[in-house]
Structure 1
């Protein structure tokens, strides 16, 4: 029997290995997990920190093409699970008809989303504050990670996650998303009207500062004209670190339960 692949796609500032607990859980539930990094991403956190220029300059279209190639090479259509910019990427891929189903967790804003809360602007300022960062790889400080990712957990846990999982990431995707509504052919555009795609679940941490709940809710509304299944799940009191902090299991179990209700099983 062929097992269903599940492709995990991370966002900015986290290494692909941050998905390991999710991969283990999904494997235990009969799925075949894959955790491919972004183009240019080194295989370990330490190597990625030592070689930031390897990811500099990559944008949303580059990352989407990278994962599209991985997905189309699989023997059967996978489940796509993405966090932050990974959540934007899985929406793009699902809208193109790739993937059996997708879960987008605290997804970066797609074209058409209008709310721009102050907390989101402040979270993105380490990159957006300098136009030259569009061509660079940028790292967060522990203090910046605490504000944008770890605000809903203890400072001790936030610092531990920062040390274990953060890596430099390209600044270009943030600029592309920030100016999407002013760019005709923005790479942040998603085919939200595709009624033939697989089911999509949007998840939101209601204490998230990097992608505030209002941004995810605005994206959900953009799917209103599609006849395909689109659902929204909100997690009160959870921040942007919800996929890797001590409460990750509740989020992962919710995703597994939703997939089962869509008749998407691991084996």
Structure 2
């Protein structure tokens, strides 16, 4: 039986942006799928046409959505998440709902304190209006360039923006921003879990949205658990590393790590 793999996208990208990864993992003998978030359309175009369906979905909504998908699988999956998808993957792993997880440039979890200026600038399109907590917000091509495509050419950034971006709910960002002031924050992850599967954190040295310092601070949150927690850094990559022309190297890093875990 092929091991199931669930890919979890983050804000502003459609699930179909994982298509090259699905093919690569299928070739390696896995059974991969990339479900949409609640409210997302089946395509990039349909998602752009219906932002009202995307808005007001928070972290707990997305976790419950993926937990329900996991419950229908024949065995526990491997999770691969990017950005907020990386946070979702960590939450589900902490709940023992996955064999292992890879969190790529994962959004900050509760307990992570550094909020670099570049991260604030990258998320300003959401935070500039408090009403965006209950809305879906789109990025402009220039905003995408700063938040995602700063480590690739202008031409490639613009192509990625046109091909993959969709409106994103503002609620998860507001929840993450207030996490350290809320004892019951949905951004809380069970980092002390001793029985969870292995976790790989991947950081990008040029990421403006989730700077490397955030991933390093996330790693420290796991210091009280003896479960495997590894870190890999791509010094010259930005937040678009899962969708830009360098994605095969990132995918191969994930596959190599999974082989080392006998997964």
Shorter-chain TM-score: which interval? over 0.9
1:243 counterpart residue number: 242
Distance 1:263 1:220 in 2: 22
Root-mean-square deviation (CA, aligned residues, Å) is 0.4
Residue 198 of structure 1 and its aligned partner are, at CA, apart by: 0.2
Residue 55 of structure 1 and its aligned partner are, at CA, apart by: 1.0
Unpaired segments ≥5 residues, structure 1: none
Distance 2:121 2:107 in 1: 15
Q: Is 2:8 aligned against 1:9?
A: yes
Distance 2:214 2:139 in 1: 22
Distance 1:183 1:221 in 2: 20
- Partner of 2:187: helix, strand, or coil? coil
- Partner of 1:145: helix, strand, or coil? helix
TM-score normalised to structure 2 length = 1.00
Residue 129 of structure 1 and its aligned partner are, at CA, apart by: 1.2
Residue 72 of structure 1 and its aligned partner are, at CA, apart by: 1.4
The correspondence of residues 142-181 of structure 1 with structure 2, limited to 5 A, is: 142-181=141-180
Q: Is 2:119 aligned against 1:120?
A: yes
Q: Deviations over 1:130-174 (max 9, x none)?
A: 100000000000000000000000000000000000000100000
1:229 counterpart residue number: 228
Distance 1:176 1:145 in 2: 22
Distance 2:57 2:224 in 1: 32
The correspondence of residues 36-75 of structure 1 with structure 2, limited to 5 A, is: 36-75=35-74
TM-score normalised to structure 1 length = 0.98
Unpaired segments ≥5 residues, structure 2: none
Residue 40 of structure 1 and its aligned partner are, at CA, apart by: 1.1
Distance 2:71 2:176 in 1: 25
- Partner of 1:7: helix, strand, or coil? strand
- Partner of 1:202: helix, strand, or coil? strand
Distance 2:200 2:69 in 1: 22
- Partner of 2:166: helix, strand, or coil? coil
Aligned residues: 263
Distance 1:129 1:185 in 2: 25
2:92 counterpart residue number: 93
Distance 2:249 2:133 in 1: 35
- Partner of 2:102: helix, strand, or coil? strand
